[in-house]
Chain A
């Protein structure tokens, strides 16, 4: 394959991947008058009116805040709970490791729709429906397979002597985890944390089912149910979509190597 063909093909792939996002970005910058007509493809002048409308909307700010709170809290909780479990399975060599990791894998393959009705009724019964806590609880649990698997795999690669030496120097097992294992596992924690964060930021089914009002509505649900009964506010949807997407896009570019490693870790090495 010649260098030129190769370059063209790479450009086609890149364009295919970014096109919908690019089109949304272009649409979000079009003045209202040009939005509902094609041609022109590109706006004749840039307008930030849709962004102003979105940021002026109290409900939108609330959705962003909800998503940030849920994703951040879940990521921290999932890493904490996941690190404890991975520590037991990897460093402490708890028996039945394979069976337990297999069970977690089964949970990750589970269709979430199967638990929606009981969880909905349960949350309703204990008065937790339409709260951020309900989402944090659900997301933390469903992200455990990811964090436990990735962290256990990472802990496995640390030299066991580190743990033994820490114990010999008088650390408790928990002390060894906190003072020795975790500080050395920053790359693993980062990879797992990134994937969990993206999962929370993007989750839709539970968020749609459990949230009823602005109190707990997250970004994907807000954008999917964007108000507008008769006239769909395409410009505002476009602007909101761009804003909602930017954080994960930034993460994808900044940490592409870590995400790549995290995503492919399980599949390739078995």
Chain B
């Protein structure tokens, strides 16, 4: 009896959090679904219910497929690069004794700087005439203005910004590997690359997977970096899903179609999240 009443009261502690989630997440999710069934442009006047027409339009919208392709490319390339670089940094840092606090602070720096501000910094470094990157490597490439380079310039910035996060996760993972294993391997005569291949990497694999999915979910919704660096250009070559949705909503003022695009983006992200949940349950089994 007593625990039952205790539990009833325990529910009250969730009310503030629940109320916020309902107003700011749940209600908008339902509302965006509703909006996606309307033709509603702030330029055209009142909204009209058009059923699934917006979704049919998405399916045949070349710009949507371009944005999806760009998003996938951005996600795959940046996450793989971050994993490789993050692993190298983690292996280098994880048993560092001297200057450890300072090094961790330095590595946290790219993570801590606001992304929009970092993008401004990179934009300045990428400048064709007076950018330090062109100056140092002695070329005159228009990094942000040419369709071939712009996406890779954005990826390079994302790698800089997010590698520290991956490295820190992997350091935490490395610290969880029992030292006995390494001592046993040393007794058996295993050296450098062999230890890495037979002990470190297999035992680190679960954390690497989590890092990859974490980063993939985050990279998939990339907005700040690209909005500031290129705005989606040149010629839509860096336009990702989030950017396309934002432009449709706030530049074209098409709230109906923009909402349909948002729902599709949400669906893609949900697939990634489901992959993550499966991964977690697979790990705990």
Contacts and interface: CB of A to CB of B under 8 A. Distances in A.
A150 interface: no
Q: Which of B29, B110, B135, B284 has the most CB of A within 10 A?
A: B110
A80 to B, nearest CB: 8
Interface in A42-70: none
B169 A267 contact: yes
Contacts of B6: 92, 173
A214 interface: no
B108 interface: yes
Interface residues of A, number: 90
B105 A23 contact: no
Contacts of B258: 117
B211 to A, nearest CB: 7
A62 B172 CA distance: 40
Interface string B195-236: 000000000000100110010010011011001100000000
> In the complex, which range does the number of interface residues on chain B fall in?
35 or more
A89 B109 CA distance: 34
Contacts of A21: 109, 113, 121
Given A13-B89, A234-B124, A113 B116 contact: no
Given A10-B92, A17-B107, A88-B13, A115 B117 contact: no
B9 interface: yes
B24 A113 contact: no
A268 interface: yes
Interface of A is mostly: helix
A204 B223 contact: yes
A81 B16 CA distance: 6
Given A27-B124, A111-B221, A224-B227, A253 B105 contact: yes
B92 A137 contact: no
Nearest to A194: B112
A249 B113 contact: yes
Interface stretch (B55-63, B96-104, B145-153, B183-191): B96-104
B155 interface: no
Contacts of A244: 114, 117
B28 A115 contact: yes
B35 A38 contact: no
Given A24-B124, A94-B7, A219-B114, A10 B96 contact: yes
Interface of A: 6, 9-10, 13-14, 16-18, 20-21, 23-24, 27, 35-39, 41, 80-82, 84-85, 87-89, 92-95, 100, 102, 106-107, 109-122, 137-138, 140-142, 144, 148, 173, 198, 201-202, 204-205, 208-209, 219-221, 223-224, 226, 234, 237-238, 241, 244-245, 248-249, 251-253, 256-257, 259-260, 263-264, 267-268, 270
Interface of B: 6-7, 9-14, 16-17, 20-21, 23-25, 27-29, 31-32, 35, 89, 92-93, 96, 99, 101-122, 124-125, 130, 132, 135, 160, 164-165, 168-169, 171-173, 176, 207, 210-211, 214, 217, 220-221, 223-224, 227-228, 241-242, 245-246, 249-250, 255, 258-259, 262-263, 265-266, 269, 272-273, 276-277, 280, 283-284
